[in-house]
Amino acid sequence: MEYYLKCIACGVEYTQRHPYQTCGICGKNLEVMYLEKPRFKKRGKEFWDYEYLLPNAKYRHTELGGTKLIESKDSNLLLKLEMENPTKSFKDRGSVVEIAKAKEYKYKTIVCASTGNMAYSLAYYAKLEGMHARIFIGGSANKHKLRDIREVRDAEIEHVKGDFNKALDLAYRYASRHKAFLAGDYCYRKEGQKTVAYEIMSQAPSATHIIVPVGNATLLSGVHKGLKELKSAGQIGRYPKIIAVQAERCSPLATAFRKKKEIRYKRPGTAADAIAVGYPTFGSQGLDAIRQTSGTVVTVSEREMKREQKEFLKEYGLVAELAGAAGIAAARKLRLRKDDKAVAIVSGGNV
Ligand SMILES: [Zn+2]
């Protein structure tokens, strides 16, 4: 769809030719604004069924999305298996959009900060398009992911002394000094990731809750955007409640939600690397997502995530990373009624 970009902080607008995902005035994130209201021509089950609802670009149609939604042994909990994506996490939905735009703007290098999954996914799609990826890794990223990123995808990795937010600063600086496309948790990624909401509401139209693990809150905000589009097009009636889940040891969004205060940086101390983000980029939009759908934030302990990860493997023979198991752990803490249908997004399986 035709669109323009708008700064979420200062409101400045840019055309689709603006080859950045951040504001040239204040440096904050931009939002993709469509020129017309999204109209759902058809409701499909696969990612590319919704291409016409993504920002205009020449997309490479690789296999993607259309992940299974399975019943769990609790009749009111369904599991969305995002580890079925090519690099085993939901990140692929966003990477494919970002890389298509970076190519359109004629970049040869992309740069990003990552705790692991983002790098894995971006490096995969960058290589498909013949682009070079330079990645700043902060925190305790998984060693196996890193080896694959370096050896299979030929990406350059720079280890950062510090956490994800420190890596983010360095990636931002690198992009402004070199001709590199700053990729990561920005507006184009969010557009790709909103498709998980389309798929869920097509697979489970009666869903009452969608449980979303939160690191940078891009998926959270993307799910909300997808639901808003579905509602404005009359495809769904009521909003399912959006339930954000964070690790107890890294829960800046949960604290802000409970105390009704602004989000403050919290040093990540969780082993769930995919959600170990001390200051979520899409935090304020994430809070909007929760509040506007009468949802809530649930925090889960390291033990609870590990227990669900083990159970999940035993039950389905599938590997979920800790962040992926977090949603299942959160579902146990929600007081679901018998006729509720909760969908937990099992966000990834890179272990
Ligand atoms: Zn701005």
What separation in Å is there between the alpha carbon of 48 and the centre of ligand 1? Answer: 31
pLDDT above 90 (res 301): yes
What separation in Å is there between the alpha carbon of 6 and the centre of ligand 1? Answer: 8
What separation in Å is there between the alpha carbon of 29 and the centre of ligand 1? Answer: 7
- Token pair for 277: 């983000």
Q: Which residue has the higher pLDDT, 333 or 148?
A: 333
Name 271's Cβ contacts closer than 8 Å, sequence gap at least 6.
Answer: 140, 302, 322
What separation in Å is there between the alpha carbon of 272 and the centre of ligand 1? Answer: 32
What separation in Å is there between the alpha carbon of 96 and the centre of ligand 1? Answer: 25
CATH of the structural domain 92-187, one choice from 1.10.10.10, 3.40.640.10, 3.40.50.1100, 3.90.470.10: 3.40.50.1100
What separation in Å is there between the alpha carbon of 5 and the centre of ligand 1? Answer: 11
**Three-state DSSP state, 338:** coil
CA distance from start to end of the chain: 36
Which H/E stretch holds residue 281? Answer: none
Instruction: Please give the class, per CATH, of domain 69-89+189-346.
Output: alpha beta
Chain segment 199-236, per-residue pLDDT in tens: 999 999 999 999 999 999 999 999 999 999 999 999 99
What separation in Å is there between the alpha carbon of 101 and the centre of ligand 1? Answer: 20
Q: What is the pLDDT of residue 116?
A: 82
Q: From start to end of 163-275, where are the E strands?
A: 180-182, 209-213, 241-247
User: pLDDT-based confidence at 316, cuts 50/70/90?
Assistant: very high
Which H/E stretch holds residue 140? Answer: none
What whole-number distance in Å separates Cα of residue 327 and Cα of residue 314? 17
What separation in Å is there between the alpha carbon of 34 and the centre of ligand 1? Answer: 18
What separation in Å is there between the alpha carbon of 211 and the centre of ligand 1? Answer: 31
Chain segment 248-272, per-residue pLDDT in tens: 999 999 999 999 999 999 888 998 8
